[in-house]
A and B are shown apart, each in its own frame.
Chain A
């Protein structure tokens, strides 16, 4: 029997039982679609977090007060409290390190902000002029905080886009006075609207000089020091120099944690990559289920077509030819299911992207390959048993079956 004839014969068998074929293709398609869509979700989450993190700045080295228990990055440290003072002078001393291009101290708190009778709660970021460059913040109007003595800042404020709108609506904001707590600040700039970043929405923020923020919150310690290394290769040396410098300044006690953006990225990358992998594994179970279904359906098909198998043998078909015909049928059904499932999965991913435009839900190539491959392999693997069963049938008994 020629290969083309095997395929044609198998196609006729598949189309001869449309309901059965449709159900089988559907089962296989659901499995593949699940793999494609779920990995798109998982990988989308990974990309989303990575993008957000990259948007924080480039070549970042971040200093956190307090010592992390483990040497690696512990995500919990990014949000826990401040056991030891990390001062403005500490931060300023880092600017002189050879591998460091820019330094921005950061202190965070909330306060009420009011202007022209309008009042709202706002997140205050106390920092210095280089913060804009370090964080890649772009100005919509005006300019950022001026370069000046870190410990004697002028009462200037830069507003996030939403805050500006809430306070001033369509009126111009630059040059106006706002009240923060019991101090008055002059608006010197407005940030470009950005949208939500990791945990911090730059649209909902008011940026003031770090010394004034410390006074407002009555605190001497910094929340973070953001450092931009000179280039990518300088990140690790910078990290070491920063740690050494601060340890020296703190009488030899290593009481700060220095993390690099790269390390954080790598951790998230690993974490979310593993998540995607796990999700793919779970989805693959549905493929295995589909494979078992293929086996059952093909066994039923063999039983249904017992007398046909007897006939083919009487007409001179070898066991091999019959086995190939049934295997080809199982493979074709799986292939069709895999293709339909791939289409559905891509559709599902596109729908997610449509509903959440900021979420890059694209299925990773490896998952698509793995999904299609598994579908085919399970289909054929589970098709082998029924096909062999058919090939071994006794022709006389098969013919006697009605």
Chain B
């Protein structure tokens, strides 16, 4: 059984009386522990696909089986729970809460999940150490470099031990060297068994993935 299975997914945005087919009859199967790069020109539907996979968006038609369970029919609360426990997000623009410290940002998912305080601080301390942020625990995002911010975001995405990490252009706001660092971190997580799905424009970064899915105009045009 694949970890993720999309069957003829359609996603249509209606803008006034024009319709945008962001995803057309898309099928995709992903095994646990895979490393996939989703590539393609701007507007081809990469982000839309990732949002669907992350249960931030619902398809207009088709089914999404996550670990064998149809998740498109879940209630909003149940979907939130799946996001909390199974999915980690990494964004291009980091999306850290500006008034919270690095440590507090990393702890956010655990706070939302209601994990006890002691356990939280223990895990945060470990994550800060793992990502080389120990000396930055009490810094706010505006006191961190881009690379450090993305490392905080990755620490946050992994703190709940998710089954998959979804990253939308995680290196888009970083210089080449820092970007490669960050990719290295994500790949390290993948090596430990977490499914990694990365959207990227960058052919060089995309080629590091074992599997590459190319999108064009809402369709999967290549998958190898």
B99-141 with Cβ < 8 A to chain A: 99-100, 104, 108-109, 111-114
Docked pose: A16 CA to B141 CA in angstroms? 13
User: In the assembly, what is the distance between CA of A13 and CA of B104, in Å?
Assistant: 13
Given the known interface contacts A1-B111, A9-B111, A12-B100, the answer about A317 and B80 at a Cβ–Cβ threshold of 8 Å is: yes
- Report A-chain residues with C-beta under 8 Å of the C-beta of B80: 313, 316-319
Q: Which of A205-260 contact B (CB under 8 A)?
A: none
Contact status of A319 and B109, CB under 8 A, knowing A2-B114, A314-B56: no
CB pair A1–B114 under 8 Å, yes or no, is yes
Question: Considering the chains assembled together, what is the distance between the CA atoms of A12 and B98 in angstroms?
Answer: 11
Residue of A nearest to B57 (CB): A396
Shortest beta-carbon distance, A335 to chain B, in Å? 20
Using an 8 Å CB-CB cutoff, how does the interface string of B50-84 with A read, 1 for contact, 0 for none?
A: 01001011000000000000000000110011111
A5 partner residues in chain B, CB cutoff 8 A: 111, 114
Question: With A1-B114, A396-B51, A399-B56 in contact, do A311 and B76 touch (Cβ < 8 Å)?
Answer: no
Q: Report Cα–Cα, A2/B111, bound state, in Å.
A: 8
A316 near B111 (CB under 8 angstroms)? no
Q: Which of B82, B84, B98 contacts A315 (CB 8 A)?
A: B84
Check A315 against B112 for contact (C-beta < 8 Å).
Answer: yes
Query: Would B109 and A315 count as touching, CB distance under 8 A?
Result: yes
- The contact string, 1 if C-beta is below 8 Å from chain B, for chain A 359-402, is 00000000000000000000000000000000000011001001
CB–CB B99/A314 < 8 A: no
Query: How many chain A residues touch B (Cβ–Cβ < 8 Å)?
Result: 26
Residues from chain A with Cβ under 8 Å of B56 in the complex:
313-314, 395-396, 399
A320 proximity list for chain B (CB < 8 A): 77
Does B35 touch A at the CB level, under 8 Å?
Answer: no
A16-B99, A319-B76, A395-B56 known; A314 vs B83 contact (CB < 8 Å): yes
Question: 0/1 per residue, B30-66, Cβ < 8 Å to A?
Answer: 0000000000000000000001001011000000000
| Interface residues on chain B, number (Cβ under 8 Å) | 30
Q: Knowing A316-B113, A396-B51 are in contact, say whether A308-B89 is a contact too (CB < 8 A).
A: no
Please report which residues of chain B, range 77-95, place their CB below 8 angstroms from some CB of chain A when the two chains form the complex: 77, 80-85, 87, 89, 91, 93, 95
Chain B: which residue is nearest A400 at the CB level? B47
B33 to chain A, nearest CB (A): 22
Near B by CB (< 8 A), chain A positions 1-18 give 1-2, 5, 9, 12-13, 15-16
Q: Which residues of chain A come closer than 8 Å to B89, judged between CB atoms?
A: 314-315
In Å, the complex CA distance between A317 and B114 comes to: 11
Shortest distance from the beta carbon of B93 to any chain A beta carbon, whole Å: 7
**CB atoms of B83 and A315 under 8 A apart:** yes
Does residue A312 face the partner (Cβ distance < 8 Å to B)?
yes
Nearest CB in chain B to that of A13: its residue: B99
Q: Chain A contacts of B76 at CB under 8 A?
A: 318-319
Some 24 contacts from A to B, beta carbons below 8 A apart, are A2-B111, A2-B114, A9-B111, A12-B100, A16-B99, A308-B97, A311-B97, A313-B56, A314-B54, A315-B83, A315-B108, A316-B112, A316-B160, A317-B80, A318-B77, A319-B76, A319-B77, A319-B80, A320-B77, A321-B112, A396-B51, A396-B57, A399-B91, A402-B93
Question: Given known contacts A1-B111, A314-B95, what 7 new A-B pairs fall within 8 Å (CB)?
Answer: A13-B99, A312-B108, A315-B89, A315-B156, A316-B109, A316-B113, A317-B80
Identify the A interface with B (CB < 8 A). Answer: 1-2, 5, 9, 12-13, 15-16, 307-308, 310-321, 395-396, 399, 402
